[in-house]
Amino acid sequence: MKKKMNLRSLLALLVATVSMTLFASCDKDSFIDTAQLPAEAQTFIDTYFASSKVVTVMKEGTGLWAEYDVNLADGTSLTFDHKGEWTDVDCGLAAVPAGIVPEQIASKVAELYPSQFITDIDRDFEGYEVELNNGVDLSFNKKFVLKEVD
């Protein structure tokens, strides 16, 4: 009985130590230089936001959980995943550059809201969410089917 208790205590201590180490390593946020962004993120910024200066770049997390938050001088904020693929483009009150928005989404927005434009677009494993300049939010699945209007 005593050996089982010691083994359980040792196992619990090991699990706690590993958990604390994992949580601590995920909490590594630091400001980095633009040159330290993944190449795909740098190309994205150069392609769509060449006229706006990068103000800050924050790297959050490490490895597969790394995320990069970029703030531009014009008020735009960009988020990239660990590979440098964009996950959020928030242009504040300005329109998201047309080349970023998938054609199917742009067409649906033009059809339903012809006098509005997209100011924010998010994408994840479920699909896309866009916000229009009138405050309307639209959700699309991966196949670009409109799922919800809020």
Strand order in the sheet with 77-80: 29-31, 54-60, 67-72, 77-80, 86-90, 118-124, 127-132, 137-141, 146-149
pLDDT tens-digit map of 75-84: 999 999 999 9
pLDDT per residue as tens digits for the range 28-52: 789 999 999 999 999 999 999 999 9
